[in-house]
Amino acid sequence: MIGRDAPVEGLLGKAAEILREQPLCDRCLGRMFARLGVGLGNDERGKALKTLLVMELHRRIRSGDVSAEEEFKRLAPRLGSYATLLYEQLFGEKPGMEACAVCGGRLGEVIEKAAARAAELVSNYGAQSFLVGCRVPESVVEAEERIKLRHGLTYAESIASEVRREVGKRVRDLTGVEPDFAEPDMVLLVDFETGYVDAHPLPLLFKGRYWKLGRRISQSKWILRDNVKKYPFSVEEALEPAAKLVGASRAVLHAAGREDVDARMLGTGRPMVVELKLPRRLDVQPKRLAEEINSSQELVIVVLDGRARRRDVRLYKSERAKTRKVYRAVFVTDADVNDAALAALEEAFKDVKVRQQTPRRVLHRRPDIVRYRSVYGVKVRRLGPGMFEALISAEGGLYVKELINGDEGRTEPSFSSVLGTQAECLELDVVYVEL
């Protein structure tokens, strides 16, 4: 008979060769061929191979092939339920059962159990997206790698990747929440050994703006020695009620640049990203968070527009020096200044590069360097004798107080040098930050 003694070829031959060496459950056998056939589960692949193997051996046994009968007798404990009845017919007893050499037969159960727990966590946290990770003991990984190597299996995937995908699918089906591989709300880490699932919520990020209505308010909390705060309040502290609302460990402010501690932030507000670390709730509306912040104090107002991405934080940080800002400054002069001199001041600061050496007041924490910053325009109006209000449009990173007083010549040109009398900034507000 044709092919009577021919070895089983192709995939089926490979499957027989693997099972001769060690028992594998449906999933672990199927996984050795995971990249063959699309839209199949590894359990289906394994089941198909084992079924076909039983059929092929049965065909050969029926044709009188004694070696096939021996092979079947040997493999039956590794072929699972698909071989049981035939084995009973042939040998009058039940075959033994051997546990999978990779997963010990636990894989299916681990997947189901972990998926149920993971879905529960997604719901409890109110996550809008998730990612499944899997920790597999070294011994399991090694067992799997040995089989792949010995049998030259190039279409296999790893057990961790099967757990991730299968748990992910089930969580999506159970909760309706989609996985996100780039920036998930939370990572669900399955421990293969114990079957436990750990929830790792990623920080919540919200895009928005802030307004600082008072002075002597720093942007971030500024702690001196012995836990003493340098300034009574900070914008970052104003965000704390939002952190509390979602059970986060703390709130971090990522702003596009910063104003001086004694400058207010008015006008259009300053763009920022609010980060809430280790949140316990992930489904909070930005509007609700902003309300919580705004109703808890009166010095800082925020607007939160929606969720931000990690890259937004980087963007805000990198662009901080480049963006255009508009400042409102109140300044006084030693000698009074007439209207013609004010007009000359406005003329002198039309699109001009200002040379600034690091101001003396920040020298203790900044390197002493020279930088050039553009001033695009200045508008001045008189408030009283020797007292004026200026609107200054300039490149970010300009030290405005020094633009006014000249910092003993370290900033040039300055209001002082152009007016010919010492000018000093009394009040400074930021009224526009471009992003």
- Cβ at position 106, least distance to Zn ion in Å: 7
429 SS3 class: strand
Name the minimum Å distance from CB 108 to Zn ion: 8
Helix ranges (DSSP H) in 203-324: 235-238, 240-245, 286-296, 310-318
Closest CA to 410 of 375, 369, 377: 369
Of the pair 48, 102, the CB lying nearest Zn ion is at 102
Q: Is 25 in the site for Zn ion (CB under 5 A)?
A: yes
Compute φ and ψ for 190, nearest 5 degrees: -90, 130
* Residue 290 binds Zn ion (CB under 5 A): no
Task: Specify the residue, 150 or 322, whose C-beta has the smaller distance to Zn ion.
Answer: 150
Q: How far is the CB of 107 from Zn ion (least distance, A)?
A: 5
Give the number of other Cβ atoms within 10 Å of residue 336's Cβ. 12
Whether the CB-CB separation of 176 and 128 falls below 8 Å is answered with: no
Q: Judged by CB under 5 A, which stretch of 55-63, 98-106, 243-251, 292-300 contacts Zn ion?
A: 98-106
Pull the structure tokens for residue 250: 């703390």
Question: Rg of the chain's alpha carbons, rounded to an integer?
Answer: 36
CA 170/CA 172 separation, integer angstroms: 5
Contact between 75 and Zn ion per CB under 5 A: no
Among 8, 11, 18, 28, binds Zn ion (CB under 5 A): 28
Q: CB under 5 A: which stretch of 72-80, 96-104, 184-192, 290-298 binds Zn ion?
A: 96-104
Q: Are 61 and 75 in contact (CB under 8 A)?
A: no
Coil, strand or helix: which one is 424? strand
Cβ-based nearer residue to Zn ion, 32 or 107: 107
**Per CB under 5 A, does 100 bind Zn ion?**
yes
Structure tokens at 38: 């699309």
Closest CA to 434 of 393, 375, 391: 393
Q: Which is nearer to Zn ion, 34 or 313 (CB)?
A: 34
Number of residues that bind Zn ion (CB under 5 A): 6
Residues designated as active site: 260
- CB closer to Zn ion, 32 vs 217: 32
Q: Which stretch binds Zn ion (CB under 5 A): 85-93, 94-102, 232-240, 332-340?
A: 94-102
- Our CA angle for 128, 133, 137, nearest 5°, is 160
What is the smallest separation between the CB atom of 4 and Zn ion, expressed in angstroms? 33
By CB under 5 A, is residue 103 in contact with Zn ion?
yes
- Residues forming the site for Zn ion (CB under 5 A): 25, 28, 100, 102-103, 107
